[in-house]
Copies of this chain bind each other. A is one copy, B any other.
Amino acid sequence: METNIAEIARIARVSTATVSRVINSPEKVAQETRGKVEKIIKQLNYVPNQQARSLRSRRTRMIAIIVPHSADYLFSYPYFSILVKEVSLELSRFDYHLILTTDEPQEAVTERYRVFIDKKMVDGFVVLDLKNDDERVHFLRERGLPFVTVGRNDRDTDISFVDTDNDLGAYLAGKHLSEKSCKRILFINGLADQSVSVWRERGLVRASRDFGFDYEVFNGDFIEESGAAITRSNLGKFDAIFAASDLMAIGALKVLKEEGVSLPVIGFDDIPLSSEFSPSVTTVHQPIDEVGREAARILVRQISQGQVTKTILPVSLVIRESSEVSA
């Protein structure tokens, strides 16, 4: 016989309500009864059935991350794995758990969200890969479910998010390049519809005004190939490269090496590979592990206290070999 709250109650000679209180709000139970019940719980290795709790309390303690198939590249991006790991670990410290899933290509972007909500499976969502105008945000708002976005945009200003200071990061990169006397920068940005790309371009615009350089933007998709392709088709036109991801910076560096060209290159993220690559990659460091943990904390707070939290984490320029060459 599986032990349940009724058995504990029987043995402790109290009611099931009291056992439940010992578990959920021990402060409401007298010291003595409480000790007695706790002892029996321990003796029998009793653990509450989560499904029953969820049904009754309408809280599942589950959070979902739904990776859109259009962001498939995330799965070979080290940044993403680390983020997911930290989100999951921090959530578990609050007794929440993470469902990780992908959508299918033919589905609507919001379909999986709808299913999770309708089935009453989750208490909230972490939204990655935020767009400037993000359907998922509209949807979740409408449905009234708690969520936190990683990144922020201009439209949705009253929601919980965690972001890094992308604007400043790009500004620092531009400043550094201008200090290397660069005048025409090739800016390999991310996808244009992603909010992160907007912030980074803003930072570079500010820097170009403050320090007097020109730049031109091309949109890549964060992976190495796109950085390489954009670099290849622009050889000879620029005297420096700033890429919105380390992988694209590495793609650029490979092309430059192939072509025997030497230009300062700066990336973004500071993934592990960047310090090992040759040349090691100058980059804007983002505290990705902290982003993950903070996302978890913000969401838990949003769920339990209905509190909107906005966090912007600092970035820093890490100077390595790839920017230490003459233009």
Contacts and interface: CB of A to CB of B under 8 A. Distances in A.
Nearest to A64: B97
Interface stretch (A84-92, A230-238, A301-309): A84-92
Interface in A52-93: 52, 54-55, 60, 62, 67, 74-78, 80-82, 84-85, 88-89, 92
A51 B80 CA distance: 30
A77 B80 CA distance: 11
Interface string A98-121: 111110100000000001001111
A287 to B, nearest CB: 16
B224 A276 contact: yes
A118 B49 CA distance: 7
A199 to B, nearest CB: 26
Integer count of this chain's copies in the complex: 2
Contacts of A55: 49, 51-52, 55
A104 B120 contact: no
B118 A47 contact: yes
A181 interface: no
Given A50-B119, A98-B100, 7 more contacts: A50-B120, A51-B51, A54-B54, A75-B85, A81-B81, A84-B100, A89-B102
